[in-house]
């Protein structure tokens, strides 16, 4: 039972979509049984399903936490050099969608960037997920502050009242 689940997670000869289909079939099989342990496994498997098979073959090389650490080594070392701290900080979480590709750009570009290389990106906008992450962080920081919390609650209540009724 566990070996079957593990086999769907191991990159090998099968395509990622085939492995995902087998994983979903196992969930259906576990849900159809009377065994409460298998029901629990199906619940856990369902919770992982949304992010388990993303990235196609691009992230197939990342097999464990150590490989994940190696993959993030460049942005983390960049943050450590900038700030001089051992911990890389929250910036990778907040600015990751744009920071990581920018830090990796040198790997595919043969030399220094010129104005012509960068001109197509002059109108680029920050991804919505990155803006939302920064906004959520600002709200949570205010919520943790005893002094700013009442102002935050008043602002959120005002925004709620101004929302159009559906």
pLDDT in tens, 51-61: 777 666 666 66
If 0-12 CB within 10 Å is exposed, 13-18 middle and 19+ buried, where does residue 14 land? middle
Give the residue-averaged pLDDT of 21-25. 91
- 138-162 burial code (b ≥16 CB/10 A, e <16): eeeebeeeeeeeeebeeeeeeeeee
pLDDT in tens, 60-73: 666 666 666 666 66
Asked whether residue 143 carries a pLDDT value surpassing 90, the answer given is: yes
pLDDT band at 88 (very low <50, low <70, confident <90, very high): low
Tell me the pTM. 0.47
- Greater confidence, 13 or 14? 14
Structural domain boundaries in the chain: 2-63, 125-166
């Amino acid at each position: 039972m566990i070996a079957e689940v593990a086999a769907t997670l191991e990159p090998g000869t099968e395509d990622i979509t085939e492995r995902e289909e087998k994983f979903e079939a196992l969930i259906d099989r576990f849900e159809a049984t009377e065994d409460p342990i298998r029901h629990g496994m199906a619940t856990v498997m369902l919770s992982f399903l949304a992010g388990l098979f993303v990235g196609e073959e691009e992230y197939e090389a990342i097999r464990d936490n150590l490989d994940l650490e190696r993959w993030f080594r460049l942005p983390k070392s960049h943050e450590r050099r900038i700030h001089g701290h051992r911990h890389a900080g929250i910036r990778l979480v907040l600015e990751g969608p744009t920071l990581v590709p920018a830090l990796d750009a040198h790997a595919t570009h043969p030399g220094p960037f010129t104005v012509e290389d960068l001109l197509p990106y002059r109108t680029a906008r920050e991804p919505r997920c990155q803006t939302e992450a920064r906004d959520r962080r600002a709200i949570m920081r205010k919520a943790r502050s005893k002094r700013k919390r009442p102002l935050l609650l008043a602002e959120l209540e005002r925004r709620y009242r101004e929302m159009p009724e559906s």
